[in-house]
Structure 1
Amino acid sequence: MSSDQPTEEPAYDDRVYRSPMATVTGVVLLALLAWLCGDAVVRGHGNVPWIALAVVLCLAPLIVAFTVRPAVFANADRLRVRNPFRVIELPWAAVDSLRARFSAEVLAEGATYQLWSIPVSLRERNKANRRQTRRLGLGNGQSKTPDEEVRRASADRTMDELRTLLERGASRAGAQGSVKVSWSYEIIAPSVIGALILIVLLATG
Structure 2
Amino acid sequence: MSEQTGYADHTYRSTMGMVGGTLLLALVVLLSADGIVSGEGRTRWLSLAALVALVPLIFAFSLRPAVYAGRERLRVRNPFRTITLPWASVEGVRAAYSAEVFAGDGKYQMWAIPVSLRQRKKALRQSQGGGGESSVNLSGHGSVFAPELSGTGGYRAQADQAIDEIRTLAERHSSEEGAQGAPSVRWAYEVLVPAVAGGAAVLLLLFLG
Interval containing the TM-score (normalised by the shorter chain): 0.7 to 0.9
Give the counterpart of 1:41 among 21, 36, 45.
Answer: 36
How many equivalent pairs are there? 186
Instruction: Render the CA deviation track for 1:99-155: whole Å, top value 9, x for unaligned.
Output: 0000000000021000000000011111101111389xxxxxxxxxxxx93111011
TM-score normalised by length of structure 2: 0.86
Matched, 1:74 2:69: yes
1:15-164 correspondence to structure 2 within 5 Å = 15-133=10-128, 149-164=153-168
Query: Any stretches of 5+ residues in structure 2 without a counterpart?
Result: 131-151
Give 5+ residue unaligned stretches, structure 1. 1-7, 136-147
Alignment RMSD (CA, Å): 1.6
Q: Deviations over 1:49-106 (max 9, x none)?
A: 1100000000110000000000000111100000000000000000000100000000
Distance in 1 separating the partners of 2:197 and 2:127: 51
Q: Which of the pair is proportionally richer in strand?
A: 2
Distance 1:69 1:9 in 2: 29
SS in 1 for 2:127: helix
Aligned to 1:5: none
CA distance in 2, matches of 1:9, 1:20: 29
Structure 2 residue aligned with 1:188: 192
TM-superposed deviation, 1:13: 2.1
Q: Normalization by structure 1: what TM-score?
A: 0.87
Equivalent AA in structure 2 for residue 199 of structure 1: L
Give me the whole-angstrom Cα distance separating, in 2, the residues matched to 1:95 and 1:27: 33
> 1:171, 1:120 → 2: CA distance?
29
Higher helix share: 1
How big is each residue's C-alpha offset from its partner over 1:13-66, in whole Å with a ceiling of 9 and x where there is no partner? 211100000000000000000111111111101110110000000011000000
Whole-Å separation in 2 of the counterparts to 1:158 and 1:124 = 13
Q: Which amino acid aligns with 2:99?
A: A
Percent identical pairs in the alignment equals 50
Following superposition, the deviation at residue 9 of structure 1 comes to 4.7
